[in-house]
Structure 1
Amino acid sequence: MISQNIYFDHNATTRLDENVLQAMLPFFTEHYQNPGSSHLAGLTVNESLDHAYWQVADLIGSRPDEVVFTSGATESINLAVRGISNGERNHLITLSAEHKAVLDTIKDHTGKNNSACSILPVQDDGLVDPELLEEAITDKTLLVSIMLVNNETGTIQDIKRISELVHAKGAFLLCDATQAVGKIPVNVQELGIDMMAFSAHKFYGPKGVGALYISRSVKKYLEPQITGGGQQKNRRSGTLNVPGIIGMAKACEIAKENMDRNTAYVGILRDDLESRLLKIEGTAVNGSVEHRIFNTSNMIFKNVFSELLIMALQHISVSSGSACSSVTTEPSHVLKGLGLSDEDALCSIRFSLGKDNTKEEIDVVVRRISELVAQFREG
């Protein structure tokens, strides 16, 4: 049985898992008290929060006291970029294919603080050239920010190797892992990450809540950006979003339990979708095929503008790129960074699948896109 709506845009957001919802509901009604209160009811809520720190830390291989809850990855990135300082080091490095949350924040921060930033290009497969990165890091470099999984193409960077290059020069590594956490194994200790941002709503948790991992080696160099109240050991003040945090923690628990199964199942669906769409003339995959997350396929349909195709698909939800940039009709900066022309970038579609998709939905999408591409090209 196929739903009226087919959703292939899971990199933008995901449907809240029913078990996550059930875990959250009591904290809207029965356990609504402020966890900062000293009465028994408040202390009881605080105990639940303590458990939530453990659940999130368990998913990413950190200690609970290295997790700071935020409103999402964008706030986490802002805290990391704007809050970090270390003597005379004032040089920041990132990649041209990063999310706007990183690019815009770094540009704004360095512009206001008499510091410098280097925005490195990526190769045509979306990966950074390690030699280029190594050359760019100097004794003035404070922070290197490179995402683990690209939100548009699904390209996976070799973060462990990158961290070795960064640490060899005495700099810190910030990793935007928004598209990775909850989908693939992420262990901050093994990867050598100093700070890591992620959001709950990318892996079937609630919107409006995320976290920043801050390693113990970085804590003393990070200044809070939201003050007034001293919550979370003065690292991020404000009354905590208890229902959201509980939901995020439950989503982390579920993700860890089901990761292998979801990877295998969704990977088969994505490969089936991609292989069949590639049979359409003038179609190709953007970015690395070998170094890519299992649920994402970014494809170009030559001479068919994605905006028109998306509108014509109606109840089939796909994307032309980042949800945060979808209000513009400009070509994706990520795809242009891979060497695509403006026209080809504007003819590209991102398919990002999730655990609730089905083989029957793949059949519908392939058939409908094949029909529409033929119609647009004939027209």
Structure 2
Amino acid sequence: MDRSAPIYLDYQATTPLDPEARAAMLPFLEERFGNPHSEHVFGWEAAEPVDNARRAVAELIGASPGEIILTGGATEANNLSLIGAARRTERRHFLVSAIEHKSVLAPAAALAEQGFEVETIPVMSDGVIDLECLARLIRPDTALVSVMAANNEIGTLQPLAEVSGLCADRGVLFHTDAAQLAGKQPIDVAALGIDLLSLSAHKIYGPKGIGALYIASNARSQIAPIFYGGGQQDGMRAGTLAPMLCAGLAAAAEKALTQQAVDEAHAKALKTRLLNRLREGLLDIQVNGSEGHSLSGCLNICIPGIDAHGLLMMLQAELAASVGSACNAGLIEPSYVLAAIGLSADEARASLRLGFGRFTSFDEIDQAAALICEKAVRLSHTYAAE
């Protein structure tokens, strides 16, 4: 990466494209231009990366290639899971956790507008869902439970096996948005009892614009397509697939599987280094979520008394990170994820998300920590003088 650019610490938003994924994609921009669904040599050449993508994703999560539907990303996969389930069931009740990504909460809200009953599963102060509450919320007419594998703001990991057990006991579909966890830590969908799993290539050093939905073979009949066309992918997801993107996804998933342990150890060391440096310069910072049971490449901190958005504006020439907020109609609103774990509006506004990974160096971590501490102290002095 260009070191004259700001230090990039926003890996939960997207990861840099791995050179191996880029190299795998390039031939499909030029001579291998065929439609992967065509029945001739150009089509057969173009179909190869499609098959490779399904195989690589399946190997990454412990599935079989026939259980993988390629999508435009995790957002489409999440919509297909919830809306597809609603179209095939007579049950009218859905459960989603309070800290799901908007691409789960929005289709859930759309289902509510159509007359389905949607309830929210609360989380505890570390961001882990309340399993006892979930057990009480599941009803005979519950169709699906959606609980993300790892949160995109605070990184908290969820007890997937326990959630799966509660769902299986009641005959309820279990969907997990694993966009943040896939490729970072081992996932075995069969062992965990997951029915539906969403992931996205650009969160595992692949290209934007492609992802996948795992549908367990015994759950396939319970999911209906949400748009229609030429009947590709056995009619589950119509549309011409992009061989270039499939090649990138395949390469990224293959590398994620072989380098998972190395990447995890690197991210864990980076997180320890960053947190230690920040605590040396800012004595009163707080870690949002679970400090010990979260993604190694995600750190969400609250710096009391400062405005995190203002801090990032001061840092924008030197550091790229995110605040725990969403921009709606031009207004910065406190993060609903941070509110769900009990932070006040002021604490949420003082919170900063830092994401790092495969291409982050220890030198960058040291520089980033020094910059954050310096600017935060300056900002707090500015507030005190007002």
TM-score (norm 2): 0.95
Identity of paired residues, percent? 38
C-alpha displacement of 1:323: 7.3
Residue 349 (structure 2) aligns with: 346
Contact 2:277 2:366 in 1 (8 A): no
The residue that corresponds to 2:363 in the other structure is 360
Q: 1:313, CA displacement in angstroms?
A: 0.7
| Cα RMSD after superposing both structures | 1.6
Contact 2:67 2:216 in 1 (8 A): yes
Q: How does 1:133-172 map to 2 (within 5 A)?
A: 133-172=134-173
Counterpart of 1:275 in structure 2 is 276
Task: Report deviation, 1:325.
Answer: 6.9
Deviations 1:254-291 (A, max 9, x none): 11111111111121011110122123132110011121
- Give the counterpart letter for 2:137 in structure 1: A
Counterpart for residue 8 of structure 1: 9
Task: Report the alpha carbon displacement of residue 358 of structure 1 after superposing the two structures with TM.
Answer: 1.1
- Once residues 47 and 362 of structure 1 are traced to their aligned partners in structure 2, the CA distance between those partners, rounded to angstroms, is 40
Alignment-mate amino acid for residue 309 of structure 2: E
Pairing 1:287–2:254 present: no
Residue 99 of structure 1 corresponds to which residue in structure 2? 101
Partner in structure 1 of residue 261 of structure 2: 260
Query: Contact between 1:2 and 1:360, CA under 8 Å: does it hold in 2?
Result: no
Number of equivalent positions:
378
Q: Residue 287 of structure 1 aligns to a residue in which SS?
A: coil
SS in 2 for 1:351: strand
Instruction: Give the residue type in structure 1 aligned to 2:215.
Output: I
TM-superposition CA deviations, 1:184-214 (whole Å, max 9, x none): 1111111111001110000110001001101
Partner of 1:20 in structure 2? 21
Q: For the residues of structure 1 that align with 2:380 and 2:341, how far apart are their CA atoms?
A: 25
CA distance in 1, matches of 2:255, 2:154: 25
Normalising by the residue count of structure 1, what TM-score does the alignment of the two structures yield?
0.96
Amino acid at match of 1:345: A
Q: 2:327 & 2:31 partners in 1: Cα distance? A: 35
Q: 1: distance between equivalents of 2:325 and 2:345? A: 16
Query: Corresponding residue for 2:183?
Result: 182
- Letter in structure 2 aligned against 1:203: I
Q: Deviations over 1:210-253 (max 9, x none)?
A: 01101111111111112110000000001111111110011000
CA contact (8 A) 2:15 2:203 kept: yes
- 1:84 aligns to what SS in structure 2? helix
Mapping of 1:169-318 within 5 angstroms? 169-279=170-280, 280-314=282-316, 315-318=318-321
Query: Are residues 324 and 45 of structure 1, via their aligned partners in 2, closer, same or farther at CA, if it must alter by over 3 Å?
Result: farther
CA distance in structure 1 between the aligned counterparts of 2:337 and 2:106, rounded to whole angstroms: 14
CA contact (8 A) 2:277 2:369 kept: yes
- Per the alignment, in what secondary structure is the counterpart of residue 353 of structure 2? strand
Q: Provide the residue aligned with 1:378 in structure 2.
A: 381
> CA 1:325–1:271 in 2, change beyond 3 Å: closer, same or farther?
farther
CA displacement at 1:327 relative to structure 2: 6.0
Aligned-partner residue type, residue 211 of structure 1: A
Native 8 Å contact 2:266 2:357 kept in 1: no
SS of 1:122's equivalent? Answer: coil
Between the aligned partners of 1:15 and 1:328, the Cα distance in structure 2 is 28
Given that 1:182 and 1:255 are in contact with CA atoms closer than 8 Å, whether structure 2 keeps it comes out as yes
Confirm or deny: 8 A CA contact 2:325 2:333 kept in the other structure. no
Query: How far apart are 1:328 and its partner, in Å?
Result: 4.3
Q: Which amino acid aligns with 1:376?
A: L
CA distance in 1, matches of 2:322, 2:3: 20
